[in-house]
Structure 1
Amino acid sequence: MPTFAYLRVSTKDQTTEQQLTQIAGAGYTVEPDRVFTEQGVSGKIPALQREQFQRLNDRLSTGDTLVVTKLDRLGRDILDVIATVRALIERGVVLVVLGLGTLDNSAQANLTLNMLAAISEFERQIISERTKAKLAQKKADGARLGRPVKVDNAELKSKAEALLASGSSWRNTAKTLGISLSTLQRMMKTTPAEPKI
């Protein structure tokens, strides 16, 4: 049965040559038309939303082997990676991850996927707990949480006009009002146009 390779790098200045060398060094012979390469594609993008992975996925069939150098070549979101791996396994595709082993319908492969899912869930819970703790600390320190209160632009513009008329510089006016200089300039430009006769 044919063997395919999937190579991915996140930036345009990186190359996939090393990945192909590692695959060949592990004893896999992959025909050039069965090598699918993503250049400058983030692993955060779900696998099936990537052009080359879609093309690869369309060519894979039962009994085929797909080789990647590392699991993170399939993606950075572990839940998407697990879903992708499970979908490949269900279609009868054997996934080989160098250094990790073969992921197929075996009990060992299922254990590996379940462990990865558990670790991912654990990491999400830890991040959530840290975020809640930081927000609680900020609240305890008196910080206002949530979206800032929307400022009445008409009132703000009126104050800006008064400050500028009194001789305040644009920079000092912006600072007094608590807005950026560019915001002040933009706001002062948006005066209602006089009707044309």
Structure 2
Amino acid sequence: MTQTILYARVSTSEQDLSHQRTQAEKAGFVIDKVVADHGVSGVSTRLAERTEGKRLFDMLRRGDTLVVRWVDRLGRNYDDVTDTIRTFINRGVIIRTVINDMTFDGATKDPVQKAVRDALIAFMAATAQAQAEAVKEAQRAGIEANKGDVTKYRGKKPSYSRDQFQTVIDLLSNGAGASAIAKETGLTRQTILRIRDDQPAAETALVKWGM
């Protein structure tokens, strides 16, 4: 019997994972089991080295579906993400993303369709790595510019929570407008626009405040 497993990850133990399941279910996924890692950095730890992430390699069987919010949950960089996706595909596992409902599997035998699939995987993995590196660079720049002044380094505390930030990103990825997202999250339209226009800076602010 096949199963649908949601893999979720948050980088600090204080963050709440429930919104990732909620988003998946709102997108129409029927989740049989959730495998989650708390307090694990996605940019420094490979999936196979995470406490719960490595269980996926033993749990998933041919015909099973692995659901993730986005491909960045499956690795720390371009090579890691693409290798992980191909490993699961070769085992007969179907990978689906909550954002944009992308599906990756090994069902197609047509060389052109396979080329399109692989190119899309590569593009998404490269985008995920570029975003992660932008966040790290923003953090380094902020720390370097404000050494010795913790208050200045942290800046103003974000008016949004980690869960709200993630919801905004998910809705933006699905094409929702700022006004609609503001109504959905309870945030101001100006806050939505700030997050939209500079996502790395918005996420860096959360990291600085341990959120």
Instruction: Decide: shared fold, TM above 0.5.
Output: yes
1:123-162 superposed matches below 5 A:
none
Gaps of 5+ in 1: 124-197
**Which AA in structure 1 matches 2:73?**
R
What's 1:30 paired with?
31
Measured on the aligned residues, the alpha-carbon RMSD in Å equals: 2.3
Structure 1 segments of 4 or more deviating over 6 A?
A: 117-121
SS of alignment partner, residue 11 of structure 1: coil
The answer to whether the 8 A contact 1:2-1:64 is kept is yes
Q: In structure 2, what is the equivalent of residue 47 of structure 1?
A: 47
Whether the 8 Å CA contact 1:7–1:19 is kept in 2: the answer is yes
Structure 2 matches for 1:1-197, cutoff 5 A?
A: 1-31=2-32, 34-43=33-42, 44-100=44-100, 101-105=102-106, 106=108, 107=113, 108-116=116-124
Q: TM-score, normalised by structure 2?
A: 0.52
Larger relative contact order (C-alpha < 8 A, sep ≥ 6)? 2
The alpha-carbon deviation at position 59 of structure 1 amounts to: 0.8
TM-aligned CA distance change 1:25 to 1:84, over 3 Å: same
Mark the CA change 1:63 to 1:77 in structure 2 (over 3 Å): closer, same or farther: same
Equivalent position SS for 2:99: coil
Inter-CA distance 42–120: structure 2 relative to 1 (3 Å threshold):
closer
Give the match's secondary structure for 1:35. Answer: strand
Instruction: Give the letter for the 2:56 counterpart.
Output: L
Q: 1:55 to 1:118 in 2, by over 3 A?
A: closer
Paired residue total: 121
The whole-number CA distance in structure 1 between the counterparts of 2:11 and 2:86 is 24
1:42 Cα deviation (Å)? 0.7
Q: Could you tell which deviates more after superposition, 66-75 or 39-48? A: 66-75
User: Identity of counterpart residues, as a percentage?
Assistant: 38
**Contact 2:71–2:128 (Cα < 8 Å) also in 1:** no
Gaps of 5+ in 2: 131-211
Letter in 2 for 1:54: K
Do the aligned partners of residues 8 and 118 (structure 1) sit closer, same or farther apart at CA in structure 2, a change above 3 Å counting? closer
- Displacement after TM superposition at 1:117 (Å): 6.2
> Between Structure 1 and Structure 2, whose CA radius of gyration is higher?
1
